[in-house]
Structure formats: structure tokens, C-alpha cells
Amino acid sequence: MNSPGAHGRVAVVTGGAAGIGQALAERLAGDGHRVAVADLSPADETLSLIGKTGSEGFAAICDVSAPDSVQDFAIAVERAFGPVDVLVNNAGIYPLTAFLAMDWAEWRRVLSVNLDSIYLFGKAFVPGMVQRGWGRVISVSSTTFHSGIGLNTHYTASKGGVIGFSRSPAAEVGEHGVTVNTVAPGLVRTATTAHGPHAAWFDALAQQQAIKRTQEPKDLAGPVSFLASDDAAFITGQTLCVDGGWMRS
């Protein structure tokens, strides 16, 4: 294994301008990674947080569902920081829509952003990890896949696809020192969920958890940090539920 060492690694975080992605980018920067953020929104705040850790950040506007946009981002990251060691697939959208009211365009939009992006970023960065003999791919799924709540057919299908995607490449790239894992949070309080239709769910969901408080973005930072580390070298193809004990399996 050709590990680049705890400091000096490069991490990519999709959807890192705010919310969960921002917390993950900040933590990885604190761990010593230089962090590149891909998002449709400006990531100035995230870059500031990265800078405060003493690390370096890079951000570019990127449509994670568009092949050309992802390729342009990959080229820009390589120019800024060199080869990528850690890929965190976090970008996702989650509109609440009843299946009977869902049209094809919305179905495809959710699957494209949440699942096609995993393929596109994997194709952009995993070959280099394999060639160098070290890499970490960590994708953010959701415990909605385990619970099957309503109004989320496209979202739940996409997040189940994220879990399925992670398992197969894990079997292909493990011998090259590359691990592929998934973390599955519950409902996380972010600026988007706190002011959207999900807001009414927080208290009820917390009471169903073993840890009876609302999940925050930082609750995912530690698990992702671990999976990105050398300590997790023998863990691959796994899904870690990080949801306060809502799903106990």
C-alpha cells in the first residue's frame, strides 16, 4: 500500500458549501487533508472554515449530475492540489413528493443528482486511487432506505442505489488499497431541513431514536473521518448507520 500519510492527502467533498458537506469538509481539513469542494452554490463559508484549521481549500461550481461539469471539476482539482486520495459523495436533493403525483422529470432529477453523481465522481477519481495503491470512497446514503417512509420514493430508491453501488466496486478495488463505504444518517438538522417540510418531523423522530436528540451535521464528521483514515483500512463494502439508534440492525 502506498499511503500518502495522514497529512498531505487530498479530499473531495461534493455538496460541501453548506450543511452536512460543510461539516465533513471542515473535519477532513482539521485531519490534515487539503479539501476540494464541488457544489452548485458558492462555498466561501466552507473555504473560510477550512482555512481556520490551517489547511488549504479549493472550491468550484459543479453540477454533480453533468458529466462535462464533473470532468472539468476533476481537472481543476488535479491542477490545484494534485491526485485525490479521498472522495466523499455527499451531494443530494430530497423533495417530498407522493409517488402518485411524481412525474418522470422529477424522478430522473433526483436519481441523477443522488446516484448518477456517485458514478461520475467515481469514474473521475477512483482509477487514480487504484493506480497509486491507496484511496477512500465514502458516500452518504440515508436510513430512509431502511425505514421506507412515504413521500420519498425517488429519494429512497436513489439512496438504496448508493448502498448497492458501494458494495460492488469494493470487491473490485480492495486489493489495490482502496475502500468503498457508505454512511447512512437519519434526519439531520441543516438550514434546508430546519425551514422546509421536514421541520415537523424532528421531535417525533428524535423520540424514536435510542439517543433522543436531533441529529446535527457534526454527528457524521467523526465516522467519515474514521472511514477516511488508515485505521479503517480493513473495512470496505459496509454501510454504517449514524442515526442515533433509529435503525437498530
Which residues are known catalytic residues? 155
Sequence-distant (≥ 6) Cβ neighbours of residue 163 within 8 angstroms: 141, 145, 182, 184, 239
Residues 80, 241: Cα–Cα separation, whole Å: 34
| Count of beta carbons in the 10 Å neighbourhood of residue 99 | 11
CA angle 196, 184, 153 (to 5 degrees): 55
DSSP state of 152: B
CB 239 within 8 A of CB 163: yes
Cα–Cα distances in angstroms (integers) from residue 126 to residues 136, 157, 174, 180, 242, in the given order: 9, 24, 11, 10, 25
Local structure of 190: helix, strand or coil? coil
Sequence-distant (≥ 6) Cβ neighbours of residue 23 within 8 angstroms: 216, 217, 218, 220, 221
Q: What is the DSSP secondary-structure string of 82-146?
A: -S--EEEE-------B-GGG--HHHHHHHHIIIIIHHHHHHHHHHHHHHHHT-EEEEEE--THHH
| Count of beta carbons in the 10 Å neighbourhood of residue 204 | 9
